[in-house]
Chains A and B, each alone.
Chain A
């Protein structure tokens, strides 16, 4: 497969609007807030994901789906330079944010992560009080805040957690249930007022009720934030996202697995009228 393959495929065009029976639509802004062009991620000599090009639209939810090992989480972590933390990880191609290449030499990864936050698969609140978990980001980034109490309250309200924890802000974040912990992690992320929130399978450790709460929250948050979510749950992608990218893993001539982007389009179109046979096989196979 050559690098231009993906971008030339008809289904990849974000302008194409198909029949909309699933997914939500929202008009795209003139320019995407982020753009990946020809992005490959390497771990040492191993190319984990090949040649990914796709836009991230402002204040929309972009979902990345695909089987295990297809590189969707790897691509997600390249969007705020979390891959920097893995020794030997390297990114080629361009990840641009408002036109700025995030991997340019003079870019500070700390500043990148202040604007592009992340919520992880397993809730990971710090072993601190609920209040201190939320106040952590504003404190370390030296945010000028008039009242930390107000900021913490607003973040917890925005994460739909305030009513459940307002009387126990001093208790440990670890004492909450899994779903509450994940909403605490979302509150902690939005407390630093990022522009983009990356979510790496945020519901995979949660029960259906907690999952539904997080999904409602994502829809709410997309009014103010751009969200990119990796999920192994296709129904979830269909329910919450505006755009969907389908990744798969392919074997090359030396029998090595590489993730690649197969199709990117509006969610409704991708799920009802996929342009690529592989997308269709994956979706129908899963839905049975």
Chain B
């Protein structure tokens, strides 16, 4: 390796010498810093890339029209740039998804944390987390071609769900975010000190009372963080809504049985089409993208704050 280690006499002295491993250390350090900077740089890059076309868009369309308009038809002959139909569809799908995911996710978390014996938990938790690894295109496909036909068949009235609709997209998305909510909620419930459970049992609580009246409230900020994270995944999810959610955007669709384009579905659709760079249509994609970025950024910020607060309570 080096001459200093070959000489036994100077080995003890040279071992103290500075700089033998330092070149390796500093190289590793540079690599690690670079790795950390990539994600920071990406975020900054995205913001920069979004800003210019977004400014271009708002030079031609007023912010008021964008925020309050009730029709979004950049590809029609009669163009309109009101983003509300996209936002409404996003909110509807997210609402349906949460209606499915919060009870299922919290239920699984309570079961895993309070009821399951350690062996069962060891097997079940990774399986639930595996659900998070299913590609979203699979959820979209299953929703459109397996779940929706069943929904249409079993629907009690004649005016059932359309071929593509917000309800089925929301259901699929709800199942998709169950693992997120279950896993993070379970972590925060498991972090509730055992002494609190013992205190509750010593006051003649049943297992259900310990779970719902002590453990869940004590883990609440972690649970809220899990739900917020679930919301931000739902708002940003693209594949399911593009495949199964529908494309209507010329009016606000409030009936979840109809199809409508969400913000993400619009971006995916228009981007795969043939639009000239620098045109207003092109810029409109970035305006919607910027709005989406703001919403998910705000949600993530809220979630991080919640997680931090929940950590502070017992440490």
Count: A-B pairs, CB below 8 Å:
65
Contact with A along B128-148 (1 / 0, CB 8 A): 000000000000000000000
Is B313 at the interface (CB under 8 A from chain A)? yes
Q: Which of A85, A114, A128 contacts B198 (CB 8 A)?
A: A85
Is B199 at the interface (CB under 8 A from chain A)? yes
Query: In the complex where A120-B195, A126-B218, A128-B217 touch, is A136 in contact with B202 (Cβ < 8 A)?
Result: no
Query: In the complex where A124-B196, A127-B217 touch, is A140 in contact with B209 (Cβ < 8 A)?
Result: yes
Residues of the A chain whose Cβ atoms lie less than 8 Å from the Cβ of B206:
110, 140
Contact with A along B226-248 (1 / 0, CB 8 A): 00000000000000000000000
Of A34-42, A184-192, A270-278, the segment with at least 4 beta carbons within 8 Å of chain B is A184-192
Query: In the complex where A136-B213, A140-B209 touch, is A124 in contact with B203 (Cβ < 8 A)?
Result: no
Q: Which of B199, B201, B214 contacts A185 (CB 8 A)?
A: B199
Q: Is the CB of B217 within 8 A of A189?
A: no
- Min Cβ gap B38→A in Å is 39
Contact with A along B199-219 (1 / 0, CB 8 A): 111111110010001100110
Complex-state Cα separation, A125 to B206, whole angstroms = 18
Is A165 at the interface (CB under 8 A from chain B)? no
Q: Is the CB of A189 within 8 A of B202?
A: yes
Complex-state Cα separation, A82 to B199, whole angstroms = 10
Residues of the B chain whose Cβ atoms lie less than 8 Å from the Cβ of A127:
196, 217-218, 313
Complex-state Cα separation, A25 to B25, whole angstroms = 72
Residues of the B chain whose Cβ atoms lie less than 8 Å from the Cβ of A141:
203-204
Q: Is the CB of B204 within 8 A of A113?
A: yes
Q: Is the CB of B205 within 8 A of A140?
A: yes
Is A241 at the interface (CB under 8 A from chain B)? no
Residues of the A chain whose Cβ atoms lie less than 8 Å from the Cβ of B196:
124, 126-127
Is B103 at the interface (CB under 8 A from chain A)? no
CB contacts under 8 Å to A, within B268-315, are: 313
Contact with A along B164-203 (1 / 0, CB 8 A): 0000000000000000000000000000010111111111
CB contacts under 8 Å to B, within A122-177, are: 122, 124-128, 136-137, 140-141, 174
Residues of the B chain whose Cβ atoms lie less than 8 Å from the Cβ of A126:
196, 199-200, 214, 217-218
Complex-state Cα separation, A118 to B204, whole angstroms = 10
What is the chain A residue whose CB lies nearest that of B202? A118
Is A253 at the interface (CB under 8 A from chain B)? no
Query: In the complex where A140-B204, A141-B204 touch, is A124 in contact with B198 (Cβ < 8 A)?
Result: yes
Is A259 at the interface (CB under 8 A from chain B)? no
Residues of the B chain whose Cβ atoms lie less than 8 Å from the Cβ of A118:
198, 202
Residues of the B chain whose Cβ atoms lie less than 8 Å from the Cβ of A207:
none
- Min Cβ gap B211→A in Å is 12
- Min Cβ gap A71→B in Å is 18
Q: Which of B195, B203, B213, B214 contacts A117 (CB 8 A)?
A: B203
- Min Cβ gap A245→B in Å is 21
Q: Is the CB of B202 within 8 A of A80?
A: yes
Complex-state Cα separation, A113 to B206, whole angstroms = 11
Q: Which of B193, B204, B213, B217 contacts A124 (CB 8 A)?
A: B193
Residues of the A chain whose Cβ atoms lie less than 8 Å from the Cβ of B203:
113, 117, 136-137, 140-141, 188-189, 192
Is A252 at the interface (CB under 8 A from chain B)? no
Complex-state Cα separation, A93 to B132, whole angstroms = 51
Query: In the complex where A127-B218, A136-B213 touch, is A82 in contact with B200 (Cβ < 8 A)?
Result: no
- Min Cβ gap A227→B in Å is 14
Complex-state Cα separation, A85 to B198, whole angstroms = 8
Residues of the B chain whose Cβ atoms lie less than 8 Å from the Cβ of A188:
199, 203
CB contacts under 8 Å to A, within B107-126, are: 117
CB contacts under 8 Å to B, within A162-216, are: 174, 185, 188-189, 192
Residues of the B chain whose Cβ atoms lie less than 8 Å from the Cβ of A125:
199
Residues of the B chain whose Cβ atoms lie less than 8 Å from the Cβ of A110:
204-206
- Min Cβ gap A156→B in Å is 16
Residues of the A chain whose Cβ atoms lie less than 8 Å from the Cβ of B213:
136, 140
- Min Cβ gap B230→A in Å is 24
Is A111 at the interface (CB under 8 A from chain B)? yes
Q: Is the CB of B204 within 8 A of A192?
A: yes
- Min Cβ gap B44→A in Å is 39
Residues of the B chain whose Cβ atoms lie less than 8 Å from the Cβ of A114:
204
Complex-state Cα separation, A237 to B218, whole angstroms = 35
- Min Cβ gap A129→B in Å is 11
Query: In the complex where A126-B218, A136-B213, A140-B213 touch, is A111 in contact with B199 (Cβ < 8 A)?
Result: no
- Min Cβ gap A151→B in Å is 14
CB contacts under 8 Å to B, within A102-126, are: 110-111, 113-114, 117-118, 120, 122, 124-126
Complex-state Cα separation, A137 to B201, whole angstroms = 10
Query: Could you jot down 25 A-B contacts, CB within 8 Å?
Result: A82-B198, A82-B201, A85-B198, A85-B201, A111-B204, A113-B201, A113-B203, A113-B204, A114-B204, A117-B202, A118-B198, A122-B195, A124-B195, A126-B217, A127-B217, A127-B313, A137-B203, A137-B204, A140-B203, A140-B204, A140-B205, A140-B209, A141-B203, A141-B204, A185-B199
Which A residues are within 8 Å of any B CB, using their own CB?
80, 82, 85, 87, 110-111, 113-114, 117-118, 120, 122, 124-128, 136-137, 140-141, 174, 185, 188-189, 192
Q: Which 9 A-B pairs have the closest CB atoms?
A: A114-B204, A118-B202, A137-B203, A124-B195, A124-B199, A113-B204, A140-B209, A140-B205, A141-B204
